[in-house]
């Protein structure tokens, strides 16, 4: 289907879309290649540029377009105020008596004088009197300001020394002063789902013809924080996939915190000045390069957690609420397979966030950035799309509407979703509906597609939590139930199937996998590989560095073998052979101290030349006298066995009583093999009856 789309059909399809756009959204669309041409030379926000292009270049005639582009370039060259040239422009205004500027204007009400006063951002002047008609007409002047073209006059009167010599003659907003949301909904009815998706992507500057369906959906998902209140999104992936582009360039309502260094006062609330921080002023706060996020205050992450969960935070004596979404973007330096095997997908985060399950559980959506292609020139569109300002404004308007309950009509969520999962899925479903079906008209099949996507994006978060937090997050089998047929459909995560730590099939003799608690307190998988050489009974251990307790456990096993080797088999010699064992910590959580039993099995396996059973994980430990020790945190250990690909688990009989702590469906995944003693463990591991 994609190939067909990329060849002959695209031209015709795009022509139809363009024609419809000109018919229903005239004056609100722009050709994106014109934006690219001028943007490269002028450092003005995209939304300012596109507004001007929409005014002067909304035609099919190449000559009209060319003249329009020249006009826009001239206007920008003559009237756009660069902050470093502010004094030069003021001097020019004084000489000429009149001048037109393009600048960001904010209006405040001066209550002492009962007048409105304008402030110019780049020009650096404030307290300029302005007619009250403008704030009444364009209310956004009062809410954070908008970019305008302003005709200024300069007249200095001796008798009015205190009054400003600068007067505003005429003001025209460059940004959309008001968006008619009903008009948008009516316009949407004339497009199919496919067409509308293409328009949305083109409005952000992407070329959908060069993307497959999956990539289109993932790029659209980046807009969720702009259309949903208090939405927490994370995207980690390779470099140059445009992760921060949308938050920096496309929307005037989002801010990108570069570098990651921030303070509680800047982000949430400044107690000295009594002013609210970024979360109160913007719709979306994005952190670029998550690896560098660093709060100067100790309580920064705690306040952030509070805010991400409830949309409010307490500072000093009062509680403040805000609606800004949080976005975390960053780079993954290894391949995804390596990350999944050795640590979690949240690995690039700083350690105080990346291992804090309470913080990560608040993430509503994790976009797999590694599935998005690296952007090349052909990925950027030359076709028509909405003026970014119009796009940003109607998206902002849609934040007021709620569609989270839309799925209840056709579907129910499965029992594995807890409250946080449910909130996350509902938010995503609501957000995707707003982006794709702002008119609120969609079929059951279309809703199902959105629901599957939302479940997968949240499950990715949950899967990583399970890795970090163990049994607490074991319920990851997300599903939804059809209200008509009562069928339950499960949703998986594509990358999860890959690479198991414990391989299927027979291993080499002397290779043993054990699951136990590492130095960091987390449960992980460890591999032992052994070798036997002719010699005089030496025992070498590699991979343990200088860890005394681990070496002690390994020696315990060798001494046990020396004392009891004949009981296991008469062919095992500890005097005419040398043994070498290499220990590997497969998940980087610190070496375990429970190594005596796995070492004994590895020594016997290499000495007898018999491999262990396929897909076997060894649990439990023995003392020097051969006493069996119970498994700590049995349920968590079994969960790790399952994730690592083990099918058989060797357990001490003393742990049988603890099986009640593990869920039945988890126990049902394994063939459990119980052993009564150290010798019994060796026989059963090697499959000797």
d(CA 132, CA 141): 11
Checking if the pLDDT of 2 tops 70, the result is no
Contact 461, 361 (CB under 8 A): yes
Checking if the pLDDT of 502 tops 90, the result is no
Q: What is the pLDDT of residue 313?
A: 84
d(CA 660, CA 638): 12
Which range has the worst mean pLDDT, 43-57, 123-137, 386-400, 571-585? 43-57
What is the distance, to the nearest Å, from the Cα of residue 203 to the centroid of all Cα atoms in its chain?
A: 22
Q: Are strands 479-482 and 411-413 parallel, antiparallel or unpaired?
A: antiparallel
d(CA 502, CA 666): 17
Contact 527, 569 (CB under 8 A): no
Q: What is the pLDDT of residue 602?
A: 93
Which range has the worst mean pLDDT, 59-68, 352-361, 376-385? 59-68
Question: Which of helix, strand or coil describes residue 254?
Answer: strand
Question: How does residue 425 score in pLDDT terms, banded at 50, 70 and 90?
Answer: very high
CA angle 58, 64, 65 (to 5 degrees): 60
Q: What is the pLDDT of residue 8?
A: 38
**pLDDT tens column, 306-343:** 888 888 888 778 788 888 899 998 888 777 777 776 67
Half-sphere exposure of 102 (CA within 13 A, CB side): 20
Question: Tokens for 276?
Answer: 């609210």
Contact 498, 337 (CB under 8 A): yes
What size, in residues, is the chain? 689
Q: What is the pLDDT of residue 471?
A: 66
Checking if the pLDDT of 180 tops 70, the result is yes
Distances (CA, A) of 646 to 307, 502, 558, 613: 40, 6, 26, 11
User: Mean pLDDT, to the nearest integer, of 368-394?
Assistant: 85
What is 416-473 written as a DSSP string? T--HHHHHHHHHHHHHHHHHH-TTS---HHHHHHHHHHHHHHHHHHHHHHHHHHGGGG
The highest-confidence range among 9-23, 122-136, 221-235, by mean pLDDT, is: 221-235
Which range has the worst mean pLDDT, 236-245, 496-505, 579-588? 496-505
Contact 232, 326 (CB under 8 A): yes
Q: What is the pLDDT of residue 497?
A: 52
Residue 548's contacts (CB-CB under 8 Å, 6 or more residues apart) are none
Query: Any long-range contacts for 660-667 (C-beta under 8 Å, 24+ apart)?
Result: 661/634, 661/635, 662/471, 662/634, 662/635, 662/638, 663/474, 663/635, 666/474, 666/635, 666/638, 666/639, 666/642, 667/638
- Please, what sign has the CA dihedral across residues 387, 392, 397, 402? positive
- Please, what sign has the CA dihedral across residues 221, 225, 230, 234? positive
Q: Which helix (H) or strand (E) holds 492?
A: none
Please provide the average confidence, as pLDDT, over all residues in the chain: 84
d(CA 209, CA 213): 10
Q: What is the pLDDT of residue 672?
A: 92
The highest-confidence range among 41-50, 459-468, 647-656, by mean pLDDT, is: 647-656
Which range has the worst mean pLDDT, 49-53, 104-108, 187-191? 49-53
User: Mean pLDDT, to the nearest integer, of 25-41?
Assistant: 76
Residue 486's contacts (CB-CB under 8 Å, 6 or more residues apart) are none
User: Mean pLDDT, to the nearest integer, of 221-237?
Assistant: 91
């Amino acid at each position: 289907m994609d190939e067909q789309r990329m060849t002959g059909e695209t031209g015709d399809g795009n022509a139809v879309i363009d024609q419809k756009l000109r018919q229903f959204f005239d004056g609100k669309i722009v050709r994106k290649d014109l934006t690219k041409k001028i943007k490269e030379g002028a450092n003005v926000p995209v939304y300012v540029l596109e507004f001007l292009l929409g005014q002067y270049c909304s035609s099919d005639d190449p000559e009209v377009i060319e003249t329009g582009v020249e006009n826009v370039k001239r206007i920008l060259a003559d009237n756009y105020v660069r902050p470093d040239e502010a004094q030069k422009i003021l001097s020019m205004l004084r000489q000429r008596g009149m001048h037109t500027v393009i600048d960001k204007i904010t209006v405040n009400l001066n209550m002492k004088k009962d007048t409105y006063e304008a402030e110019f951002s780049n020009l650096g002047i404030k307290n300029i009197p302005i007619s009250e008609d403008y704030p009444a007409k364009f209310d956004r002047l009062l809410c954070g300001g908008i970019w305008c073209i302003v005709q200024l006059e300069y007249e200095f009167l001796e008798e009015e020394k205190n009054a400003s010599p600068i007067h505003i003659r005429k003001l025209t907003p460059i940004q959309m002063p008001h968006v008619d949301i009903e008009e948008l909904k009516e316009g949407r009815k004339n497009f199919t789902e496919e067409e509308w998706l293409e328009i949305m992507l083109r409005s952000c500057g992407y070329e959908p013809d060069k993307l497959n369906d999956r990539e289109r959906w993932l790029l659209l998902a980046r807009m969720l924080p702009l259309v949903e209140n208090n939405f927490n999104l994370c995207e980690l992936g390779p470099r140059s996939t445009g992760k921060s582009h949308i938050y920096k360039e496309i929307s005037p309502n989002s801010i990108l915190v570069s570098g990651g260094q921030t303070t509680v006062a800047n982000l949430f609330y400044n107690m000295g000045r009594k002013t609210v921080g970024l979360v109160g002023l913007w719709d979306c706060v994005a952190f670029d390069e998550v690896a560098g996020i660093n709060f100067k205050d100790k309580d920064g992450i705690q306040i952030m957690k509070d805010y991400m969960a409830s949309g409010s935070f307490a500072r000093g004596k009062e509680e403040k609420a805000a609606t800004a979404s949080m976005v975390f973007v960053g780079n993954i330096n290894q391949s995804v397979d390596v990350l999944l095997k050795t640590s979690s997908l949240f690995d690039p985060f700083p350690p105080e966030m990346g291992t804090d399950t309470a913080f990560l559980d608040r993430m509503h959506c994790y976009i797999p950035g590694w599935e998005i292609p690296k952007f090349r020139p052909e990925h950027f569109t030359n076709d028509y799309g909405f003026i970014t300002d119009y796009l940003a404004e109607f998206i902002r308007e849609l934040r007021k509407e709620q569609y989270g309950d839309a799925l209840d009509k056709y579907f129910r969520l499965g029992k594995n979703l807890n409250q946080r999962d449910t909130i996350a899925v509902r938010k995503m479903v609501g957000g995707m509906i707003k982006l794709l079906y702002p008119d609120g008209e969609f079929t059951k099949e279309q809703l199902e597609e959105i629901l599957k996507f939302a479940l997968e994006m949240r499950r990715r978060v949950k899967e990583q939590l399970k890795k970090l937090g163990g049994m607490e997050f074991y319920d990851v089998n997300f599903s939804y139930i059809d209200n008509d047929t009562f069928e339950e459909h499960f949703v998986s995560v594509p990358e999860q199937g890959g690479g198991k730590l414990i391989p299927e099939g027979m291993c080499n003799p002397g290779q043993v996998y054990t699951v136990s608690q590492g130095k960091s307190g987390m449960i992980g998988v460890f591999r032992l590989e052994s070798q036997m050489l002719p010699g005089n009974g030496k025992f070498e251990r590699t991979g343990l560095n200088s860890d005394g307790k681990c070496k002690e456990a390994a020696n315990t096993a060798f001494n046990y073998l020396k004392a009891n080797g004949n009981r296991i088999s008469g062919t095992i010699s500890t005097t005419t052979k040398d043994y070498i064992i290499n220990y590997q910590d497969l998940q980087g959580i610190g070496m375990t101290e429970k190594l005596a039993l796995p070492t004994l099995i590895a020594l016997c396996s290499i000495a007898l030349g018999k491999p262990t059973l396929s897909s076997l994980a060894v649990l439990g430990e023995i003392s020097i006298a051969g006493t069996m020790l119970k498994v700590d945190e049995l349920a968590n250990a079994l969960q790790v066995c399952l994730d690592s690909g083990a099918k058989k688990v060797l357990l001490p009989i003393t742990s049988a009583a603890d099986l009640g702590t593990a869920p039945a469906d988890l126990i049902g995944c394994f063939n459990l093999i119980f052993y009564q003693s150290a010798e019994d463990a060796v026989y059963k591991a090697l499959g000797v009856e």
